[in-house]
Amino acid sequence: MILSSVQLKNFRSHRNTEINFSGNINYITGGNGQGKTTLLESIYYLCTTKSNIAKADSDVVCFNEENFEIKGSFNNSINNEVRIYYSAEENKKYYFKNDKQVFRAAEVIGQFPVVLLTPADHAITQGSPSDRRKFIDSVISQASETYLKNLLDYNKTLKQRSQLLSRLKEQKQFFYTTELEAWTEKLVAAGSEIIKARKRFCKEFNRFIAESYNVIMESDEIPGVAYNYLDGSGTDEIEKLFSDMLSQKKDEELRRASNLIGPHRDDFIFSINDLNLKTFGSQGQHKTFQVVLRFAEFFYLKEMTNRVPIFLLDDVFGELDINRSSKISSYLSKVGQAFITLTDFTNLSYLQKEEDDLILYVSKGNVSYGT
């Protein structure tokens, strides 16, 4: 799938921008604060109906304006024209696909798959377990609707169960009632599905990580992701283990009125040659690993969904050396269409630029084509 053109009206600093893209790599260059990342944000909007940065649609409207509009043209075997219009007065966003209004975001999500690498990705390898769970869950959910439904079911069960635990605490009933037993059983059933799916995923995903790592690093080090579930006990009888752990924590759960164990507390461990990245990794290794993870996500989604995602890379070369940057840019030529922002024009000489690649200069919300 190729995004062939985009038109922006009153979208942040872009008052009126119209760009035709290359089907290969699009290098977006310019100084700080000129509107490079905004271009990526607008593409993300087109693919997912929401921003990856702004919390509210009203945040991205150009100052002193009442609305914004993003139009995009996707070319697959067929053409799809997508238009997003937001009116500040109504505080309402309209999404049109081929001039027909789409009312449910679910109808759009997954239609135009997108993989985004941003500086915020540092949280995946350096942040808290919840950042890692969020990353892994989002990758699996994009490939499996069943997983997403299980996850929603599990999260709902967690909320209900914690409410019930609070009520029991208030009533000073520090023992398992039949009602709590039922919610516990539901928690185990739904949670075990999640754990099993995550285990399967990590096994599969390791292949993709290793492949991307070897291309970018050109080394025979072995990278990996391991799933640390239910306090790292590591057996295969998930259901039994899960309910055993829950009965061990019974008193504590009742006392603290919260769900203390389950996939919502698990962690993932990234490693290089079995050394924990979080403990031993340098800044550069972290950055490289984050890049590797997004490439792995890209190829994983491509294989699982049979759709080629659009790849957005925001300031990926900022912290990497010349050699690494050049490897990544040549790797990208295998990807299909990609959009990369760069701060420094001179960097371009190191990149493996192909003939069909495009260079765009962004300055104060205006875009011009380079060579």
Distance CA 190, CA 370 (A): 53
Question: Biggest alpha carbon distance in the chain?
Answer: 73
CB of 99 to another protein, least distance (A): 25
The one-letter code for the residue type at 118 is T
Is 132 or 161 the residue whose CB approaches another protein more closely? 161
Distance CA 200, CA 262 (A): 17
Q: How many residues does the chain have?
A: 371
Is 102 or 164 the residue whose CB approaches another protein more closely? 164
CB of 113 to another protein, least distance (A): 16
CB of 74 to another protein, least distance (A): 23
Is 19 or 188 the residue whose CB approaches another protein more closely? 188
Confirm if 362 and 29 have CB atoms less than 8 A apart: yes
Is 161 or 294 the residue whose CB approaches another protein more closely? 161
| Pick from 362, 208, 217, 365: nearest CA to 282 | 217
CB of 353 to another protein, least distance (A): 41
The one-letter code for the residue type at 324 is R
Is 53 or 257 the residue whose CB approaches another protein more closely? 257
Is 167 or 302 the residue whose CB approaches another protein more closely? 167
How would you classify the pairing of strands 100-102 and 275-276? unpaired
Helix (H) or strand (E) run with residue 192 in it: helix 178-217
Phi and psi at residue 155, to the nearest 5° = -65, -35
Is 149 or 240 the residue whose CB approaches another protein more closely? 149
Is 188 or 312 the residue whose CB approaches another protein more closely? 188
| Pick from 162, 197, 196, 198: nearest CA to 180 | 162
DSSP character at residue 22: P
CB of 264 to another protein, least distance (A): 15
CB of 270 to another protein, least distance (A): 29
CB of 146 to another protein, least distance (A): 5
CB of 154 to another protein, least distance (A): 9
82 pairs with which residues across the strands? 72, 97
How would you classify the pairing of strands 25-29 and 223-228? unpaired
Measured between alpha carbons, how far apart are the two ends of the chain, in Å?
24
Interface ranges with another protein (CB under 8 A)? 144-146, 149-150, 153, 156-157, 159-161, 163-164, 167, 178-179, 181-183, 185-186, 189-190
**Cα 240 from chain centroid (whole Å):** 32
Is 95 or 183 the residue whose CB approaches another protein more closely? 183
Write the DSSP string, 62-103. Answer: PTT-SEEEEEEEEESSSEEEEEEEEETTTTEEEEEETTEEE-
CB of 157 to another protein, least distance (A): 6
Distance CA 23, CA 218 (A): 27
Distance CA 190, CA 195 (A): 9
